């Protein structure tokens, strides 16, 4: 992440909240469309959907991430300042350290590192590997990218743009970080249909992890740390 993206904002540099808000609303709608539209057009039965929920969910997650990924790449391409190798390295190391700390906490609290649960007990990545070639390779790579770098970039993009729009981007606990963490946690409440009241605890955890990614982004001025951190953390649930 380039240094100039964190310099003091001017009026011309400020972003509108409209675009990130549209991206966020789009991310809420797409997973539902990914489940319903193919089911209607292809006449998928309920049993078929349940048996392939890991892949349908991955498709929805990929479509959810896509607008933020595209806009994030465009934002970086327009930035005139080169990336700082020291910032990238510091971000990478901190991302790895934080992921290791959370892994240790998971082992202490649950006794397991690899939970292997996705949407009610479906391991998206591992079940994708069981498909026939070449779909196993395609689906597993898609799952890894969607639930790893894709989700992380979604959070990073919202933090950057909301910070530009709302101001105060110099602070670690900026409005963009807090707002993005809240918005990112809210959809996880829908997991109440799969996990019951445990979805509330899951949403709180997502809020906390969103804060970590946002602060890591702000502290190191690089998106690499949040991407590595979330890919490793979420990888234990795929």
DSSP labels, 68-88:
HHHHHHHHHHH--SPP-HHHH
- Residue tagged 């479906």 (tokens): 122
pLDDT grade for 93, boundaries at 50, 70 and 90: very high
Contacts of 81 (CB under 8 A, 6+ apart): 2, 3, 4, 5
Q: pTM of the entire structure? A: 0.82
- Angular region, 94: left φ>0, alpha ψ -120 to 50, beta rest: alpha
* Chain segment 150-179, per-residue pLDDT in tens: 999 999 999 999 998 887 777 888 999 999
User: DSSP states of 206-233 as a string?
Assistant: HHHHHHHHHHHHHHHT-SHHHHHHHHHH
Tokens linked to 124: 């998206």
- Domains in the chain: boundaries: 12-235
Element holding 103 (H helix, E strand): helix 85-110
Percent of the chain with pLDDT over 70: 82
Of 119-123, 183-187, 234-238, give the lowest mean pLDDT range: 119-123
């Amino acid at each position: 992440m380039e240094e100039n993206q964190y310099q003091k904002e001017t009026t011309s540099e400020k972003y509108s909240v409209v675009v990130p808000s549209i991206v966020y609303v789009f991310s809420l709608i797409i997973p539902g469309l990914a489940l319903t539209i193919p089911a209607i057009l292809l006449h998928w039965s309920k049993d078929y959907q349940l048996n392939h929920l890991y892949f349908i969910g991955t498709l929805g997650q990929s479509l959810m991430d896509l607008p933020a990924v595209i806009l994030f790449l465009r934002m970086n391409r327009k930035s005139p300042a080169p990336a700082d190798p020291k910032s990238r390295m510091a971000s990478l190391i901190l991302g790895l350290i934080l992921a290791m700390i959370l892994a240790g906490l998971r082992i202490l609290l649950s006794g397991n590192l690899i939970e292997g649960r996705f949407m009610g007990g479906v391991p998206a990545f591992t079940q994708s590997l069981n498909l026939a070639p070449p779909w196993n390779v395609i689906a597993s790579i898609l799952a890894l990218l969607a639930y790893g770098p894709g989700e992380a970039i979604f959070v990073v993009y919202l933090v950057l743009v909301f910070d530009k729009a709302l101001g105060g981007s110099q602070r670690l606990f900026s409005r963009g970080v807090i707002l993005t963490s809240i918005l990112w946690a809210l959809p996880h409440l829908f997991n109440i249909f799969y996990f019951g009241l445990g979805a509330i605890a899951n949403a709180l955890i997502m809020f906390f992890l969103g804060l970590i990614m946002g602060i890591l982004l702000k502290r190191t001025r690089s998106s690499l740390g949040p991407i590595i951190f979330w890919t490793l953390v979420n990888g234990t649930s795929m």
